[in-house]
Chains A and B, each alone.
Chain A
């Protein structure tokens, strides 16, 4: 090398430009950030674990919610109306009303249940077969089980059925579904709130980790500044570190939720059996997985940006 040759840049203060130089500097930042993580494996692992646990709670809650709301959907066939007819209505009248109702647009099916069928079912459910045998007079009326086309029209339909001749009462067995829906809504809001809180936690945890990292590398930062590194160049490895922390934390959270789902699958199936229902657990959706991992990565970048910027300002770079 000859000491006489001058730097090529004209004005002297312009940084050597070009996409290639830019990408080379990025590659350096990326590699050096990975190097930092690898050089302190235990500290990195602990940070990532904290992030994962913090992310697990909202993600797990969301999955539970997703499953619960699907339970409601699967059981919409239970959104039937029980139309109790007058005591004096006989089989012929009941059948006529049944066929008339099944012609309505908003009704999918009508299932007439005779008093004796009703009594047998009731006895079966309650284990009272013998007691029923002793009853001479069946007090039950004819009942029409009406299945509407959609659950949303239930209230109007019930009102209309109530006005039909020979109808005693219409019972909408919807309350538990409404309660479930209301409960899901409450938990959904809670999940959103928790997600916001834990998102902030992720940013702060990453920020704090980066802050300690900066502290350990204070000397290096100063030397880099002395030999002409820009703020961006100094900041970039830390931003990458934040990104890795966030992505790794999100990924680990995803794995933990998957594990939890696998552990819960057995008991949930048993629970489903008691309801005679196929209660398979729905896994994390692809979209939620993506949001979890990428969102965590973005939060990591934000957290480290805040930490680095504060520090650079303090050492007046």
Chain B
């Protein structure tokens, strides 16, 4: 129960200290460090995340375990891959590893690791928009914990790790949602700038041809249709050279005909 209390306190602390300026991977690294501190016998921890079906170690408390993760990625198998694929906790020791994944066992032995446990990250969401973000990136993964002690990680410890994987899944989903929001904000910004250019072009057309705001937009639309150019392109050309807009009463459809010929000011 002490461990559960410690883990709960650590999770609370981590949750309260989540910062907007800290990246997803930095947050996951802090959480992985907590796991190592709190889990008896733990030597190192890493977080594997599949994005678009491609696995990568996004956080690790020891550089050495990144190599162990990479071996699994290249094999396409191992406790981490199996935990992600089957969505179950996979605990194994060096003996079992030699039988099931000899190449991994060799690397594990070199690192002095005796026992390892991988817990799947359940990147699921009850919010449809967030789930969509997770699905878009095909997010899945596992928290991997390594021990240099034989027989480490009792079943009760798996439950403690599961508490962390739940929190980590939340961080990953939040980051996915954040990324999606940032991308949408970026698109909106581009749209807003395009609107700015079109509005400025409208003003130029109003002044050059003595039109109201609505009439100027209709005029731009007509020019767009006649020239088969997008309004934003027409607007960009006009803003760069207002003299291309023939003064009121002259042929308006030829706005983009006279590139390079600047007309004089019609300042009232």
Q: Does B bind A?
A: no
